[in-house]
Structure 1
Amino acid sequence: MPTPSGPARPGPAPACPPALAPPVAGPGYRAVFAVPEFRSVFAAHLLSSLGVVVCELALSVLVYRLTESPLLSALTFALGLLPYVVGGTLLSAVADRYPARRVLVLCDAVCAAAAAAMVLPGTPVAVLLVLRCLIAAVAPVFAGTRAGTLGEILGDGELFVLGRSLVRIVNQGAQLAGFAAGGLLLAAVPPGAVLGLTAATFTASALLLRLGTAARPARGRTPGALVGASLAGIRRLLADRRIRALLLLTWVPPAIVVVPEALLVPYGDLLGVGPMGQGLLLCGMPVGAVVAETLVGTFLGPRARTRLTFPLGVFAVLPSLGFAARPSWGWAMALLVLTGTGIAYNFGVDRWFVAAVPDELLGQAMTVMQAGRMTSMGLAMGLAGVAAECAPLSVVMSAAGVVGAVVVLAVVAEVRRSGARATGRARGGRGPLQQTES
């Protein structure tokens, strides 16, 4: 498979000494957007991401109006995370077993139908929650398939890494824009109309993917039933020490950093800042993430981005320590923005992960990565809530920083041991691949 953005093969010795050779900046975001297929994938992802965020908000409001139950209303958000473990395990082989474009379009069509069904008058609350679960169960399959097809569209080098970065920027930006747009829409029209708009965004995403991406054959086909093939693929992935270590590196820091985020509403209440102040606190991490991703992807080259992986992965959990001092609203916002900047550690992780995973399991590996990340974050949020019932908020939020620093350092050590210093490895379909500099 051609890898236009992959590492260059050794060539003739440079005319000047290595110490004087100019640094290679590498491709930037402009090079990624120059690929027509990626523009279609990006636009589709933007639409579907906004649709998911608006759907969560509108459905939460609709359920609360029907039941007047805060628990059921909050459950609509929780159901956006919990089914990830089902779709990410039992259905993970879908990403490689069938042609990517067909899977992506079908996933969007299922989500559009589920959102449209929510609009039907008289739909019971239990059915609304089941439909929300359906969208959430489809999400990791969609994300894994999309990540796998990005490797075919952009190659497995720096363009792929930058493409994944743009996907993360959309994810974080959708939280900010989606909640703001959803709030404005709900102030003007009923929740059912907003859910209808959500169905339209999924439909538009499906059309963009169908018309804007090429039809490609499936990467691989594991024999047997879908569930059995999914579980067999997961066992194969987890049996590889390098892949296992990198999965932990993608799961652990996000699970730690959401602990203070999950407690921001009660913390804002403790500060007496009101709903607006609480809402702005929730924007802190996404703002930091978008700024960091954009700056690192724009101004740093591949080598510098890779070298930042471990420091940023550890740094992401450290600002939580500041909550031990019960900071004011302004300082709390600064801590949250700093926490969000740690997301840029994913540049290096993505590069190493795609180099470690066999071609025929790339889509499934990306599905497992996404499912594990979302599931670990959901569990961490739940544990944070339980801990906050037994201890002061400042203690729970700062303890996350202490525990996180220890655990992330242990994971980093395992990543190093698993082969971070290797210079390359051969893999079917890709050839020699550069690993990482530690």
Structure 2
Amino acid sequence: MTSQQGYRAVFRVREFRFVFAAHVLSLLGGVVSHVALPVLVYEQTASPLMSALTFGLGFMPQALGGALLAPVAERYPGRPVLVGCDLVCALSVAAMTVPGTPSALLLALRAVTAFVQPLFGGVRAAGLAEILVGDTFVLGRSLIRISAQAAQIAGFAATGLLLLVLPPRGALVLTVAGFLASAALLRFGSARRPPAAVERTRGGTRALFAERRIRALLALCWLPPAFIVVPEGLAAPYSTEIGAGSLGVGLLLAAMPVGGVAAELAVGALLKPAVRERLVLPLAGTTLLPFLIFAWQPGLPLALAVLLVAGTGMAYSLGLDRWFFDAVPEELRARAMTVMTAGLMTVQGMGMAAGGVAAEFMPPHLVIVAAGAVGTVCVLLAVVAVRAVRKTADAGEAPGPRAKAGGDGAAGPVPETPMADM
């Protein structure tokens, strides 16, 4: 099977079609709320800080949710957990649409929807490995990521237009509909599967982080996104710095997702799995280097080109997905994916916040340069660590968590393969 046939093969799996459709509907609903809720809060408070907090609350509660809800991912069947998360989000957003809802309650409800996202993403990612096998799993994960980036490219602009004809609460009704439709598709279109054996997974998070191989892979998963979001967080001040205006802000925000979508489609469709895996370390190690060009404070066209090129480096995720799932014991996958999702969103929020703080003391373009330089050093350290543990694994050393979690002394990688995920 060629890689291109593999993309078609993914959609030939009936259950994946339902899961993917549910993902798209909840994703679109999330994009609408991501824009409409800050507008609603600002209308009620006239406070830029309160409006900005609605964005921050999309990231911060995810770390807590990932830590507290990770055991749920393996103790309960996946389908009810996914449907339950969608219903929690639908009810929370529905409460936001009630006229007169205080702004503080709006923020609390936003935090609730963010709190359950790592659980949803982790369970979905683990379940995806049961729906798709071999290379189709990697390509299925790729499609999940591509759709998320495509929503970022088109969704924010479309929601801005939507708010010209609908009040914010009216737009939030569409978010409720998206979550409810997603819940229905998952309930009736996906199979019910038993949870992981609870006795075999006690202390699972400790077992994950006790394994050097998994720690190295998580570092490589988290570090590039932590730094690559810095230009997105500084899009408005950098656009002002170069005189590009509001149009420049939108284009700067879209550039890296465009590069990411194009590269992931090309790598997934044109390259064989072995080639994709060989590209993981080179792509990850160089993806932040283009940021150094911001030292010359490039104008809008060159800045867009630099960000587009940087976005292409994120295609390293295709090969990394395979490595991560090979390293994690089957009974710990749901927990591992919940931890990965929570960590990913947390480091992105921290990266944006750190970039914003740094921009209080130095020009935005120099903050982006610093992100490129410091980020490259950090990622290269992770690359060295991953290279070392892969050499050890190839030499025949058994990965630790399987023996610790399984209790039977079994060793070796689990077949199959890391949001937006099943």
TM-score, shorter chain, exceeding 0.5? yes
Q: Deviations over 1:228-270 (max 9, x none)?
A: x6xx321111001101110000000100111122111100001
Aligned counterpart for 2:153 among listed residues 176, 189, 209? 176
The answer as to 2:238 corresponding to 1:267 is yes
Task: Report the AA paired with residue 375 of structure 2.
Answer: G
| Structure with greater helix share of residues | 2
Distance (whole Å) between structure 2 residues aligned to residue 220 and residue 420 of structure 1: 31
Task: Report the AA paired with residue 112 of structure 1.
Answer: A
Distance (whole Å) between structure 2 residues aligned to residue 26 and residue 177 of structure 1: 25
**Matching residue of 2:96:** 118
Contact kept, 8 Å, 1:87 with 1:140, in 2: the verdict is: yes
Tell me the SS of whatever aligns to 1:58: helix
Tell me the SS of whatever aligns to 2:116: helix
Aligned counterpart for 1:253 among listed residues 224, 236, 242? 224
Q: Runs (4+) of structure 1 moved beyond 3 Å?
A: 24-27, 420-436
Alignment of 1:133-172 (within 5 A): 133-155=111-133, 157-172=134-149
The answer as to 2:279 corresponding to 1:308 is yes
Tell me the SS of whatever aligns to 2:288: coil
Distance (whole Å) between structure 2 residues aligned to residue 88 and residue 153 of structure 1: 23
Task: Report the AA paired with residue 260 of structure 1.
Answer: P
Distance (whole Å) between structure 2 residues aligned to residue 246 and residue 223 of structure 1: 23
Task: Report the AA paired with residue 10 of structure 2.
Answer: V
Task: Report the AA paired with residue 280 of structure 1.
Answer: L
The answer as to 2:351 corresponding to 1:369 is no
Contact kept, 8 Å, 1:26 with 1:302, in 2: the verdict is: no
**Matching residue of 1:296:** 267
Distance (whole Å) between structure 1 residues aligned to residue 287 and residue 77 of structure 2: 37
Q: Deviations over 1:188-241 (max 9, x none)?
A: 0111111011000000000000111111111232589xxxx6xx3211110011
**Matching residue of 2:251:** 280
The answer as to 2:36 corresponding to 1:58 is yes
Alpha-carbon distance, 1:435 to partner: 10
Distance (whole Å) between structure 2 residues aligned to residue 30 and residue 135 of structure 1: 33
Distance (whole Å) between structure 1 residues aligned to residue 105 and residue 152 of structure 2: 25
Alignment of 1:418-437 (within 5 A): 418-420=389-391, 422-423=393-394
**Matching residue of 2:349:** 378
Contact kept, 8 Å, 1:26 with 1:158, in 2: the verdict is: no
Task: Report the AA paired with residue 129 of structure 1.
Answer: L
Could you list the runs of 5+ residues in structure 1 that have no partner in the other structure? 6-23
The structure showing larger relative contact order (alpha-carbon pairs under 8 Å, at least 6 residues apart) is 2
Contact kept, 8 Å, 1:271 with 1:328, in 2: the verdict is: yes
Task: Report the AA paired with residue 419 of structure 1.
Answer: R
Distance (whole Å) between structure 2 residues aligned to residue 109 and residue 48 of structure 1: 11
The answer as to 2:370 corresponding to 1:399 is yes
Aligned counterpart for 2:314 among listed residues 323, 339, 343? 343
**Matching residue of 1:211:** 188
Q: Deviations over 1:83-113 (max 9, x none)?
A: 1101111111111111000100000010011
Contact kept, 8 Å, 1:312 with 1:344, in 2: the verdict is: yes
Could you list the runs of 5+ residues in structure 2 that have no partner in the other structure? 418-422
Q: Deviations over 1:117-140 (max 9, x none)?
A: 100111110000000000001111
Distance (whole Å) between structure 1 residues aligned to residue 388 and residue 21 of structure 2: 39
**Matching residue of 1:190:** 167
Alignment of 1:231-242 (within 5 A): 232-242=203-213
| Aligned-residue CA RMSD (Å) | 2.1
Tell me the SS of whatever aligns to 2:359: helix
Distance (whole Å) between structure 1 residues aligned to residue 280 and residue 4 of structure 2: 17
**Matching residue of 2:105:** 127
Contact kept, 8 Å, 2:66 with 2:338, in 1: the verdict is: yes
CA 1:430–1:174 in structure 2 vs 1: closer, same or farther (change >3 Å)?
A: farther
Contact kept, 8 Å, 1:422 with 1:435, in 2: the verdict is: no
Tell me the SS of whatever aligns to 1:391: coil
CA 1:274–1:393 in structure 2 vs 1: closer, same or farther (change >3 Å)?
A: same
CA 1:222–1:69 in structure 2 vs 1: closer, same or farther (change >3 Å)?
A: farther
Tell me the SS of whatever aligns to 1:80: coil
Q: Deviations over 1:38-87 (max 9, x none)?
A: 01110100111111111111001000000011111111111101111011
CA 1:434–1:223 in structure 2 vs 1: closer, same or farther (change >3 Å)?
A: closer
Task: Report the AA paired with residue 315 of structure 1.
Answer: T
Distance (whole Å) between structure 2 residues aligned to residue 80 and residue 366 of structure 1: 19
Aligned counterpart for 2:72 among listed residues 70, 90, 94? 94
- Figure out how many residues of one structure are paired with residues of the other and give that number: 407
Alpha-carbon distance, 1:296 to partner: 0.7
Alpha-carbon distance, 1:432 to partner: 6.0
**Matching residue of 2:10:** 32
Task: Report the AA paired with residue 167 of structure 2.
Answer: P
The answer as to 2:62 corresponding to 1:84 is yes
Tell me the SS of whatever aligns to 1:272: coil
Distance (whole Å) between structure 1 residues aligned to residue 218 and residue 414 of structure 2: 19
Aligned counterpart for 1:319 among listed residues 290, 298, 304? 290
Alpha-carbon distance, 1:177 to partner: 2.4
Normalised to the residue count of structure 2, the TM-score between the two structures is 0.92
Normalised to the residue count of structure 1, the TM-score between the two structures is 0.89
Distance (whole Å) between structure 1 residues aligned to residue 21 and residue 391 of structure 2: 35
Distance (whole Å) between structure 2 residues aligned to residue 140 and residue 348 of structure 1: 22
Distance (whole Å) between structure 2 residues aligned to residue 273 and residue 220 of structure 1: 56
**Matching residue of 2:420:** none
